[in-house]
Each structure stands twice: as C-alpha cells, then as structure tokens.
Amino acid sequence: MRQLKFRAWDGSLMLFFSLDSLRDNFGDDCCMTPKGEDAPPHSGLNWPVMQFTGLQDSKGVDIYEGDIVEEGKQNGAVEWLERRAAFGYLTDTSTIQLYGFCGEVIGNIYENPELLE
C-alpha cells in the first residue's frame, strides 16, 4: 500500500512543513487547503498542501506535487493528471506520467519557479 504523506508551503517563512509537524505545532484544528483554493477565513492558515506521489527520484528523494522534475532534456512541475488518474508533469510538447520515472527532483514551484521558464 502507498504511504500517504503531505507537506504544506508557508510562504511567509519560505519553508515546507510536513502534516505531522503542523499537527504538533497547531493541533488537529489546523486547516490547510488544496493548491489553488482559499482557506476558510477563521483558520489563520492559507498554506498550499501537496501530496506525496508514492515515488522517489533516481537519488531516492520523495516526489511531491509541486516539485519540478527533470528527465533527460524535459522538465515540468508534478501535478495530478485528472484525465489519466495518475501523477505526472507537462512539458512544452507532451504529458508524461511519473510511472517508471528515472529522472530527479531539481526544485519546486515555490522556491524555483524560474526552472519552468
């Protein structure tokens, strides 16, 4: 069975936090929202949440949504591909599923957006 892990991006501190560390610091009441959605006004937190894909790159680094991956000469940001019901990334010319991925994580969309240019 695939391990379910999540991380959240705190833009003010410019840091990622695991769901477990957020619970330790804020309790079970902490409210996080999926990427692109607004938090309820009473929550106090509005951190995008990214899910672990269940895969690792060629160096053993966990791959999460929002990571920027590179394989060969292609790179892109990891996201859930609704139409394929799988995690993958979009390049200029194609959509690539992460199944069988042999590349590496080179950054993420929050700290290294320039890698997508």
Q: What is the pLDDT of residue 41?
A: 44
- Tokens representing 35 are 């990427």
Predicted confidence band of residue 11 (pLDDT cuts 50, 70, 90):
confident
What is the mean predicted confidence (pLDDT) over 52-62? 95
Q: Which residue ranges form the domains of the chain, and what is each CATH number?
A: 6-116 (2.30.30.290)
Contact 115, 69 (CB under 8 A): no
40-to-8, 48, 116 alpha-carbon distances in Å: 16, 13, 30
Q: Is the CB of residue 32 less than 8 Å from the CB of residue 22?
A: yes
DSSP label at residue 49: E
Say whether pLDDT at 42 is over 50: no
Pairing outcome for strands 62-64 and 48-56:
antiparallel
| Averaged confidence pLDDT in the chain | 82
